[in-house]
Each structure stands twice: as structure tokens, then as C-alpha cells.
Amino acid sequence: QVQLVQSGAEVKKPGASVKVSCKASGYTFTSYGISWVRQAPGQGLEWMGWISAYNGNTNYAQKLQGRVTMTTDTSTSTAYMELRSLRSDDTAVYYCARDPPNWGYGMDVWGQGTTVTVSS
Amino acid sequence: QSVLTQPPSASGTPGQRVTISCSGSSSNIGSNTVNWYQQLPGTAPKLLIYSNNQRPSGVPDRFSGSKSGTSASLAISGLQSEDEADYYCAAWDDSLNAPVFGGGTKLTVL
């Protein structure tokens, strides 16, 4: 079955970096993109960015430009999201989602979420 | 402050029909299609409606979506207790060159 499996929970200190992985299975990885979406405690969904698994093209949310990097490894069908210079307000559950290159079809498969806690 | 505006809460009794609104602007809903997501407590979001009114395989036909101008709506008929969840709308925003989400609506089944 089509699924995305994310790496485990992380606890980081302010100023550190975190790298979350998202391993895809059950579909042709390079035919889709991956969006990353985060959700702070008790808050709504925030789109962080998108990467094409076909050619590595990226589109990052303006507020995260310069702090976030998304990459893929097609040999293992895995997407990665690295966030640097962590602050307390980066504490959230981070989700990856399968997201076609053209808008309209929706993020149709989601990972289980990775909790990132930023605390001194 | 979310780009798309949803009511923070909605409620209904079992069997009732409820609607959740999503208001945007000409740069998002007014010129692009709308998707809806359901997030049950403690779980990842799930795609409920795409392209304004299309249901992915497995989504009951009790769920329907519509769009008019710069607003969209999600309707749930024959409300069931398991529909108690948070619901989010999303649309591409041409000005931001990014997808934007509504703030979410918490649906309570009384």
C-alpha cells in the first residue's frame, strides 16, 4: 500500500538544526512531489515547502527561506527536511505529504508526523 | 492570521447536515481550486475533497464540496459521531506562489 513513514521524535536546543526523513513506498516516488506541513501545539496547518522528487526543484514558504532545505534521495525513495537555527516557536508536529506537481489533486497521502521539540 | 477564513467551530446532532465555510480572495479561491482535509484527534490530516468537489476513493458521499467566487463550502450530511474532527480548507495563492490553509474548524457532534 502507498505510505509515507517518517523518522522519530526529536528534542533540540535553540539554535540547533533538525533533519526529518520521510520514506515513501507503494508508488513511483519520482512521479510526485513531497510537501512538508507543520502544526504547532493547538494550532492549524502551516505549509513549509515542496520538492519535486523528479528533478529536485523546490518551493519554500517565504517565512522559512534561508532556514529550511528540502532534499530527496531517489535511490531510497526518501525525502528530507532540514530546519536550521531552531527557535522555540518551531516546536511542532512535522508532516510530509505526497503532493502532485500541479495544484488541484490535493496532498493525498500523509506521513504519521514527527514531533520536534525545541527547548533549552 | 490565516489567509483563508474559516469559522473556528461548528456543531450538529447525529443525522443532521452541517456546512463549513471557507472565505478567501481573488488570488486564491477566486482563481484556483479548493481542497479540504479532515484531521481526527491525534492523527495526521486526510484528504477529504479535492478540486472543489471531488472525493478521493473511500470518502463517503456524505461529504461534498462546492465553490462560488472567492468562497468555498464543505457539507456533511447524515452527521455521525466519527465525523468529530478538525476540518481545513486549502487553496493555491497566486500572489504568494504557495498553498494556503484556513485556520481550521472544529466540528463537534452533540
**B27-51: average pLDDT:** 97
B84 min Cα distance to partner chain A (Å) = 16
Using a CB-CB cut-off of 8 Å, the residues of chain B touching A112 are 44
pLDDT bracket for residue A101 (50, 70, 90): confident
Structure-block grid coordinates of residue B49: 475533497
Q: What is the DSSP letter of B5?
A: B
B1 pLDDT above the threshold of 90: no
CB-based contact A24:A85 (threshold 8 Å) = no
- Rounded Cα distance, B56 and B39, in Å: 15
Asked if B50 lies within 8 A of A105 by C-beta distance, the reply is yes
Query: What pairing do the DSSP bridges indicate for beta strands B105-109 and B9-12?
Result: parallel
- A contact set with B (CB within 8 A): 35, 37, 44-47, 59, 61-62, 95, 97, 103-108, 110-113
Phi (first) and psi of residue B108, to 5 degrees: -110, 130
d(CA B8, CA B22): 11
CA atoms within 13 A on the CB side of B17: 8
Quick one: which of B16, B33, B101, B56 has its CA closest to A108?
A: B56
N residues, chain A: 120
Question: Does residue A7 contact residue A96 with C-beta atoms inside 8 Å?
Answer: no
Per-residue confidence (pLDDT) for residue A5, from 0 to 100: 98
- pLDDT tens digits along A11-45: 999 999 999 999 999 999 999 999 999 999 999 99
- Beta partners for A58? A51
What's CA A66's distance to the chain center, in Å?
15
Nearest alpha carbon to residue A20 among A86, A106, A95:
A95
C-alpha dihedral, A72 to A18 to B101 to B106, nearest 10°: 130
Residue of B4, B27, B40, B101 for testing the chain A interface, max A β-carbons within 10 Å: B101
- What average pLDDT does range B66-79 have in this prediction? 98
Residue A23 C-alpha cell reads as: 520514506
Q: Do A61 and B56 touch (CB under 8 A)?
A: no
> For residue A78, what are the CA distances in angstroms to A100, A113, A118, B68, B88?
16, 15, 24, 39, 27
A104 pLDDT exceeds 90? no
B65 touching chain A per CB within 8 A: no
On average, the pLDDT of chain B sits at 97
Strand A114-118 vs strand A10-12: parallel, antiparallel, or unpaired?
A: parallel
Residues of B in contact with A51 (CB under 8 A): none
pLDDT tens-place string over residues B91-110 = 999 999 999 999 999 999 99
DSSP string, B11-51: EE-TT--EEEEEE--TTTTTTS-EEEEEE-TTS--EEEEBT
